[in-house]
Structure 1
């Protein structure tokens, strides 16, 4: 039997860094479905490993509510509609939970904990980001995506996007069909940084955008500081090009690229394949990080940052600090929550790269 073709260029001899720019991953639709599980960074998290901020009692309250929600998934599911029987009545109470709060307060940790704690078979629950869900619908088509997911008991959606009306309505329609099929839903999203402290702004947006689904969700407010940087030293100063190259040569499983070339390559790879782009990479080394001025390019960088963070891939770079990658105008615009999240995650990955 002929072995399947590699999704990317074979890795050079041990010790030589690869280039992400040379990879052209091909991801079949069935892999998109199979990978709807918590990413490596959140594979071992549980409710009892979450560390609530003592100054934010809402975090502790949310843990209790979510533990109860997850435990309730062990009840027998409602009967499905058949040719000669009616749909069983839906259980009382909301069929989903929504975590509303800023970036870095542990919402993904809690969402993954719901997935892990749910007492249902692994194949009966799924976990993915909003972007991954829209990519799945794009790859399978709407009706096939409904069919593929309607047998689940639980679907967890991380980083529900409120800034793309088209995708929001698409996913809302999908969730409506799944909820009607008895699938329980859990979701997170980010309060916009400029709206922190203004009550349930993000929750109100979420409930409006998901329209008829709002009655099925119980919103939980989670405030607090970004845990990725709480009590930690400042972000590391970028290294020189020479230091980045030398470190890449010494690091097994390294990928070494010029920042500008990588950004150009991302435009030629669908965002649903950015995870596959990082397959086998243990650390990313970037030369010449510069501010990004194009919105589309910036949004692709956000997706790559998410995939690297999910996979715990440290990033060592030269050039400007990651806090200066996005312009002040971008950080004040409609996609600012994504950019602040990317800065937070890239800074954390840069801190993790200091040991390299």
Structure 2
């Protein structure tokens, strides 16, 4: 019989939060050389070169420093790189490549994960633990929550002053380049002291997850869903509403452990999210499932119908589109398996 996610209540100790800040397993073996730029998108090749050059700076800054008064050596400020672009153009690939090329200790996490770490550890403790790192890689930097943005901006300012290099990515909606440029400038303004050292690069191209792929798979029947779950070792089978309710009882920093060792996720009775809080928890779960490359199969509504038109027209539009893109990729992976 398949397990149920709703029966799991994982606990993540505070001292484990920094240690688990590494790239998802699907990016374990990526490198600058394994990124294949689209010849029709010259910005991609330029981004690879810039990312590789940035990685070269990281170790030099950490090992170097500068001479101050009386010849005393002081720590040089960290370098900064900001990759701005649409969904599925390989920004996370480049981010992970920078991580792999940098000396330890180093940290990698999404913007949301970073805010959770700071919240769990406390600001000063987070600064102390991260200040020994050569680089902090932040995926999916978001500007939809002013409070979180200012918190992380302050954190990055402190870390950069201590010699930690910072590299971040963001998503710009396809066809909305003006909005993307505005987001990048907002980011630079928010991290006032870091703004002068950040190099901002645009990475263009279509979402590779949807190149030459069919539309969202049709949901399967309840009977077939149960049969598939029972035939898949290590899978989980949950009711959509029950799962949404369970997610509300867990801090998002625990979602990684929630799906640990799960081979496939089956969800019955999928329908549009009832409200924004439910939808945002589903976004975090979708990100963690995608990071772990766990197939998703559902009954009920299609996976591209979870977020309502009203949600997609609101301030969290980027998050919902990213989650939809990732869920569809995971659902196709299951169908192809």
- The 3-state SS of whatever aligns with 1:67 is helix
Paired position in structure 2 for 1:195: 176
Matches within 5 A, 1:174-323: 174-193=155-174, 195-196=176-177, 200-323=181-304
Check if 1:340 corresponds to 2:321. yes
TM-score by length of 2: 0.95
Deviation at 1:232, TM superposition (A): 1.8
The alpha-carbon distance between structure 1 residues 217 and 250, as it changes in their structure 2 partners (threshold 3 A), is: same
> Take 1:89 and 1:105, find their aligned partners in 2: how far apart are those partners?
35
> Take 1:193 and 1:60, find their aligned partners in 2: how far apart are those partners?
19
Deviation at 1:199, TM superposition (A): 6.4
Deviation at 1:195, TM superposition (A): 2.5
Deviation at 1:267, TM superposition (A): 0.4
Counterpart pick for 1:77 among 63, 69, 76: 63
Paired position in structure 2 for 1:21: 6
Choose 264-273 or 208-217, whichever is displaced more. Answer: 208-217
Count of paired positions? 335
Choose 45-54 or 163-172, whichever is displaced more. Answer: 45-54
Paired position in structure 2 for 1:36: 21
Check if 1:112 corresponds to 2:93. no
Paired position in structure 1 for 2:333: 352
Deviation at 1:90, TM superposition (A): 2.8
Deviation at 1:74, TM superposition (A): 2.9
Choose 311-320 or 66-75, whichever is displaced more. Answer: 66-75
Check if 1:90 corresponds to 2:76. yes
Deviation at 1:280, TM superposition (A): 1.2
Structure 1 residue runs without a partner (length 5+)? 1-15
Structure 2 residue runs without a partner (length 5+)? none
Per-residue Cα deviation, 1:203-241 (whole angstroms, up to 9, x for no partner): 112112222211121001011111111122222111111
Paired position in structure 2 for 1:64: 49
Q: Is the 8 A contact 2:219 2:298 kept in 1?
A: yes
Deviation at 1:88, TM superposition (A): 2.4
> Take 2:130 and 2:83, find their aligned partners in 1: how far apart are those partners?
22
Q: Which has more helix, going by share of residues?
A: 2
- The 3-state SS of whatever aligns with 2:59 is coil
Per-residue Cα deviation, 1:142-186 (whole angstroms, up to 9, x for no partner): 000001000011110111111110000000111111000000110
> Take 1:283 and 1:347, find their aligned partners in 2: how far apart are those partners?
14
> Take 1:25 and 1:81, find their aligned partners in 2: how far apart are those partners?
48
Deviation at 1:198, TM superposition (A): 5.6
- Please give the root-mean-square deviation of Cα atoms over the aligned residues, in Å: 2.0
Q: Is the 8 A contact 1:103 1:226 kept in 2?
A: yes
TM-score by length of 1: 0.90
Paired position in structure 2 for 1:3: none
